[in-house]
Each structure stands twice: as structure tokens, then as C-alpha cells.
């Protein structure tokens, strides 16, 4: 994997230094940055022509280096700037990145990775949950980077499942890195080990509603395909899908019940010919140009528990569950041979409280956090 960082050495030109300064002044407003660039032909020239404040670009760059030694400022002119993203009508002038980025390669894979974006609701149904996981699982034999937005729900499921299946994943956030949610601390750390977190905004930029639609164009722009697994009528996922289509990218949406509000966005995208109905996982592979698997599927039917539980009954329950599919209560009874129903229900409740098991629909699954 190629990584180019300006944070440990002087940039090839001063453009990155002055672009960082303009990002601080303008809060990385694309419209403002574009006007500056078009009028002056560069960000250093723009600064010298009309310095906006007493802010010292070189001092701010030094501060950035000191405070964020592991962060990269990738500019539009960098060799590792993604070509697909560069094709956007509003391609970001720069991205602040933690983790590994660039054309993804691995000694374990004979091919360069291709990106695929997955988006959806923050409150997925059991069906949306399961299908989000299954899509990633079906792609896990192929060199694919899963791209999403690190939000609750479908985004988080996509990232977590990618990591569990051994795929790299990129998270695009709609604020600065200083505002990464505390409750996703563990997931963030896992992503940084096998992927990256990127933002158009300087690290100190707080979350604002208007930044998320701006962020969505980057999620759409990083991939040739965007998949909407489940989305209501008015949602960020729909915005991402429409942005992808405007850029002539492929968009797929899962089919859904016509009377379910949580999936009305999927139906609207299909009805308006923005998205193609996703009728099989094979369609995604064919559209990506993936023909033969690049590795063998793991023989494990589920991830091994990350630790051994002291309670033997709880351990026996965990041993028959997995994060890939729902196990019904009857199936748990049959597999564990536990006949004390009240006690079994009590143990399942305790496992839910501990965040090890989730109740979905009429059954139970291991949480992806526990499977990692």
C-alpha cells in the first residue's frame, strides 16, 4: 500500500502549507477554495495577494505536524490522490487522512483493490442488517475496499463486517478528526489498522448538518459502485446515491417491501431510475469486473469468541451463534440442549446487556464487536 505523507517532511511545494491555512480560514469551503484557485492560480499566490488574517501559514503547518504526526494532508496534485475521486465535478482540493490510503495492495492479494461504497439508514431493520453483512461477506474473496461514512447503523455494519472478513475499509467523515465519536473508539482503532479515516475538513472542524451532504459526494466519488442497502425517503444515503448517479457511477439498491417506510428511499431510487435493483450478489461482482475469487473462503463458519466466558451456559449459547446470520430461539435450544427456558432467556438477556449478543427479529446474533 502506498502512502505519501507531508507531515514528516517539507512538502514538494508550499501549496500544501497554504492550502492548509486556507482550509483553516474558510473551514474548507469548496466553493470559496475554488474561487481562490481560479482567480489566483494557486493557494500560495492567493495568500500573498490577499492575506485574510494575521494567521501564519508556516506556523500553522508546524502546529499541524506537531499535533497530528500520524495524519496526512493529501492534495489534489498528489500521485496517490484517487483517480476516481479526481473525476468528480467538485473533487476536494485536499483530504486529511489517518491510516493507510492510496492504491491498496497487499502481499496476500495478486491484484490491486477496487473500492465499493455502501450506505444506508442509521436504524436498519433485521433484513437491512443481514443484507449489509452478506454483501460484504460475498465480496470478501475479492480485492475490494469497503467505503462508508462511519455513522451508526448501515455504515458501521459495513466497516465492521469488512474488518471481520479481512477486507480493508475507508471511512469518510463529515467533520474534523478531533470529533470522532467516543463510542466508536474501538472501531476507529480497528479501521486504522486496515484502512483509513479521511475528512475534507481540518481536524478541529466541528460537526454541522450541512457538512454531511458535502461528505457524501466523497463517498460516492471514491467508488465505481454505490450500494444502498436500506434507506428512508429523506436520508443521506439517498443523497449519496443521487450524487453517484450524477457522476455516471453505478448505483444499486436492495428491493424492499412497498409499504415499509424505512425502505421507501430504496424504492424511490429504483422508480426514478437512479438505482438498479440489486437482484443478486453476483451482479456486484460482474459490475466490478471480478470473475475468479482471489482467495479461499475461511473454513470457520463464524468468528471465534474474543474471550472465554466464565459462565458455561452463556459460553454454550455463544458457541452456537454467529454474526453472519440469525439463530432462532428454538435453534439455540436444539443446539445447546438447554431445556430450562427461563434460565436460557435470562442468560440471553445478560449477553445482550454485555454487548455480546443482539436480538434481531425473532432470533439472536453475535455482535460484530464481539466477533472481532
pLDDT at 308: 53
* Residue 228 sits in the same domain as residue 342: no
Q: CATH number for the domain including 121?
A: 3.40.50.450
More confident residue, 258 or 326: 326
In a domain, 155, yes or no: yes
Mean pLDDT lowest among 97-106, 231-240, 268-277: 97-106
Total domain count for the chain? 3
* Residue 159 sits in the same domain as residue 248: yes
pLDDT at 55: 92
Mean pLDDT of 161-189: 93
pLDDT at 135: 94
Domain boundary among 98, 120, 143: 98
Instruction: Give residue 147's domain range.
Output: 104-170+205-288
In a domain, 270, yes or no: yes
* Residue 140 sits in the same domain as residue 233: yes
Tell me which residue has cell 430450562: 340
* Residue 156 sits in the same domain as residue 63: no
* Residue 139 sits in the same domain as residue 237: yes
* Residue 128 sits in the same domain as residue 87: no
Distance between CA atoms of 147 and 222, rounded to whole angstroms? 8
In a domain, 277, yes or no: yes
Mean pLDDT of 350-368: 80
Mean pLDDT of 131-152: 92
* Residue 32 sits in the same domain as residue 164: no
SS (H, E, C) 280-327: CHHHHHHHHCCCCCCCCCCCCCCCCCCCCCCCHHHHHHHHHCCCCCCE
Strand order in the sheet with 195-199: 71-75, 94-99, 195-199, 169-172, 144-148, 114-120, 225-230, 250-254, 276-278
pLDDT tens-place string over residues 264-282: 889 999 999 999 999 999 9
Q: How confident is the model at residue 107 (pLDDT cuts 50, 70, 90)?
A: low
In a domain, 293, yes or no: no
Domain boundary among 98, 121, 144: 98
Percentage, residues of the chain above pLDDT 90? 54
pLDDT at 104: 56
pLDDT at 102: 60
> Is residue 323's pLDDT more than 80?
no
* Residue 151 sits in the same domain as residue 234: yes
pLDDT at 372: 45
Q: CATH number for the domain including 318?
A: 1.10.10.10
Q: How confident is the model at residue 260 (pLDDT cuts 50, 70, 90)?
A: confident
* Residue 232 sits in the same domain as residue 343: no
In a domain, 334, yes or no: yes
pLDDT tens-place string over residues 287-305: 999 887 876 665 443 443 4
Amino acid at each position: 500500500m502506498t502512502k505519501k505523507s507531508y507531515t514528516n517532511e517539507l512538502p514538494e511545494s508550499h501549496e500544501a502549507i497554504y492550502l492548509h491555512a486556507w482550509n483553516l480560514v474558510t473551514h474548507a469551503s469548496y466553493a470559496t477554495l475554488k474561487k481562490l484557485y481560479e482567480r489566483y492560480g494557486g493557494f500560495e499566490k492567493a495568500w500573498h495577494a490577499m492575506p485574510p488574517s494575521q494567521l501564519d501559514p508556516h506556523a500553522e503547518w508546524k502546529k499541524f505536524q506537531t499535533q497530528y504526526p500520524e495524519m496526512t494532508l493529501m492534495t489534489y496534485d498528489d500521485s496517490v490522490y484517487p483517480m476516481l475521486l479526481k473525476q468528480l465535478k467538485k473533487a476536494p482540493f485536499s483530504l486529511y487522512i489517518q491510516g493507510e490510503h492510496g492504491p491498496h495492495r497487499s502481499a496476500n492479494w495478486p491484484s490491486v483493490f477496487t473500492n465499493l461504497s455502501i450506505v444506508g439508514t442509521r436504524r436498519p431493520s433485521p433484513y437491512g442488517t443481514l443484507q449489509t453483512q452478506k454483501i460484504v461477506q460475498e465480496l470478501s474473496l475479492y480485492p475490494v475496499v469497503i467505503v462508508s461514512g462511519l455513522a451508526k447503523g448501515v455504515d458501521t455494519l459495513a466497516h465492521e463486517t469488512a474488518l471481520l472478513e479481512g477486507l480493508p475499509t475507508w471511512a469518510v467523515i463529515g467533520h474534523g478528526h478531533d470529533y470522532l465519536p467516543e463510542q466508536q473508539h474501538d472501531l476507529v482503532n480497528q479501521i486504522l489498522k486496515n484502512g483509513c479515516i479521511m475528512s475534507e475538513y481540518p481536524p478541529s472542524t466541528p460537526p454541522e448538518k450541512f457538512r454531511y451532504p458535502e461528505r457524501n459526494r466523497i463517498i460516492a466519488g471514491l467508488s465505481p459502485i454505490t450500494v444502498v442497502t436500506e434507506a428512508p425517503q429523506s436520508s443521506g444515503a439517498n443523497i449519496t446515491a443521487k450524487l453517484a448517479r450524477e457522476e455516471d457511477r453505478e448505483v444499486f439498491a436492495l428491493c424492499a417491501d412497498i409499504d415499509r417506510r424505512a425502505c421507501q428511499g430504496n424504492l424511490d431510487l429504483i422508480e426514478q431510475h437512479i438505482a438498479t435493483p440489486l437482484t443478486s450478489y453476483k451482479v456486484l461482482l460482474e459490475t466490478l469486473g471480478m470473475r475468479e475469487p482471489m482467495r479461499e473462503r475461511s473454513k470457520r463458519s463464524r468468528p471465534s469468541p474474543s474471550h472465554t466466558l466464565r459462565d458455561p451456559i452463556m459460553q454454550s449459547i455463544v458457541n452456537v451463534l454467529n454474526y453472519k446470520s440469525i439463530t432462532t430461539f428454538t435453534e439455540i435450544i436444539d443446539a445447546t440442549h438447554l431445556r430450562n427456558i427461563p434460565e436460557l432467556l435470562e442468560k440471553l438477556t445478560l449477553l445482550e446487556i454485555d454487548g455480546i449478543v443482539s436480538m434481531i427479529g425473532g432470533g439472536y446474533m453475535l455482535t460484530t464487536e464481539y466477533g472481532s
